[in-house]
Amino acid sequence: MLCIRGIVLPEREERVFRIDGGVLREGAPPGGLARRDTELVVDGGWLLPGLVDVHTHPGARSTDEPFDEELLREQLGEHRDAGVLAVRTPGTAARMPAWVDEDPELPRVTSAGRWLATPGRFFPGFGHDVTEDDLVRAAVEEATASSGWCKVIGDWAQDEPAVPLPLLTSVVEAVHAVGGKVAVHCQTTEGSRNAVLAGADSLEHGMHLDPALLDRMAAQGTAFVPTLSVFGARAGEMRAREPGVRRDLWLAGWDVMPGTVRAAHEAGVTVLAGTDSFPCGTVAGEMSWLVRAGMSATAALGAASWTARAWLGLPGLVDGAPADVVAYAADPTREPAVLEHPSRIVLRGRVVR
């Protein structure tokens, strides 16, 4: 029998778990840890219930590439090897193949199906291109065909109109009526506003999000996934460009994003970690950006672990939970660099590293 002992975060309590059929059971087995049939695969250190990336798009590296199942497997493996044991894919170029849920070597995947893009609001042909008249039907179809989520491209160019509020509201109402949830890509003031007022379940990016909307987001449970790391990586390039409407609007949004993230967290909005970039398995970098924005190290770590798991409906390190555990030699809230070097990864009750 495999057993685990260490200090559990966020509670900071030492606990012992045994693994029974891929499930965690709290406490040592009868007869204690010295039993001959017991293997203590983690003895000491700091335990997390698996990292989470709630905004990642495995399966294609660029809009010029078709969806590739072998690449999907490879990139999900990159997540797993970094200790990311659950991901949400808010939009891919194709629906997740059935084998993803059946492969014990891969992280748990919550899929939102294909991106839903109305004319002029996405890379042509990369997602599911639909007319505005067809958007509600397509959103319900994707939500019911995936893990219950759908993803709508709510806006695109900084100086062009977003999906109209009445239409986006109809999408959210229809998807909620079938028990689904809606993620909305938004980078403009209008797009972010419409997503909040429509009652979306998550705002993806929210670059020009009006802080006046944060209390409403908190009250209605709209999560904020700012993907700071992907914007931060691009900021230098954008500043080097010649001034222009789109460049200037982009920079104006980026310059206030860290403050908006901090204000969102302080307002009680669920802020979550998502990378939206490659290589996969880099969610630790997103946590660093959340800390730079003003979140505490513990809150930022939760945004990519226990908080994100609870938001996805996955339990933490408790009796009866799936045996998904990542162990570290030091406290990652005090030594963040340790997140790059998990000492042990247990997925679905099996030691994978």
Summarize pLDDT for 321-335 with one digit per residue, the tens: 999 999 999 999 999
Strand partners for 128: 116
Q: Does domain 2-49+315-351 have CATH number 1.20.210.10?
A: no
Mean pLDDT score across all residues of the chain: 96
Q: How many CA atoms lie within 13 A of 48 on its CB side?
A: 32
Max CA-CA distance within the chain?
71
Above pLDDT 70, what percent of the chain? 100
Asked if residue 205 lies in contact with residue 225, where contact means CB atoms within 8 angstroms, the answer is yes
Q: Find how far residue 301's CA is from the centre of its chain.
A: 12
Per-residue pLDDT of 16-33, as tens digits, reads 999 998 999 999 888 888
For residue 34, pLDDT over 80 is answered with no
Per-residue pLDDT of 206-216, as tens digits, reads 999 999 999 99
For residue 350, pLDDT over 90 is answered with yes
Residue ranges of the chain that CATH labels 3.20.20.140: 51-312
Per-residue pLDDT of 66-82, as tens digits, reads 899 999 999 999 999 99
pLDDT band at residue 149 under the 50/70/90 scheme: very high
Per-residue pLDDT of 237-293, as tens digits, reads 999 999 999 899 999 999 999 999 999 999 999 999 999 999 999 999 999 999 999
pLDDT band at residue 112 under the 50/70/90 scheme: very high
Q: What integer is the mean pLDDT of 302-306?
A: 98
Alpha helices (runs of H) in the chain, residue ranges in sequence order? 69-81, 99-102, 135-145, 165-177, 189-198, 214-220, 228-240, 245-266, 283-293, 297-303, 306-312
For residue 64, pLDDT over 90 is answered with no
For residue 319, pLDDT over 80 is answered with yes
Asked if residue 88 lies in contact with residue 56, where contact means CB atoms within 8 angstroms, the answer is yes
Q: Identify the pLDDT of residue 159.
A: 81
For residue 233, pLDDT over 80 is answered with yes
**Count of residues making up the chain:** 353
Strand partners for 7: 14, 46
For residue 93, pLDDT over 80 is answered with yes
Residue ranges of the chain that CATH labels 2.30.40.10: 2-49+315-351
- Give one DSSP letter per residue of 96-116, joined into a string: PPTHHHH-TTS-EEEE--BEE
227 closest CA partner among 271, 183, 182: 271
Q: Scanning the structure block, which residue is given the tokens 């008249």?
A: 133
Residue 124: exposure state from Cβ atoms within 10 A (0-12, 13-18, ≥19): exposed
pLDDT band at residue 35 under the 50/70/90 scheme: confident
Q: Domain 51-312 - what CATH class?
A: alpha beta
Q: Identify the pLDDT of residue 341.
A: 95
Q: Identify the pLDDT of residue 141.
A: 97
For residue 62, pLDDT over 90 is answered with no
Q: Identify the pLDDT of residue 75.
A: 97
pLDDT band at residue 37 under the 50/70/90 scheme: confident
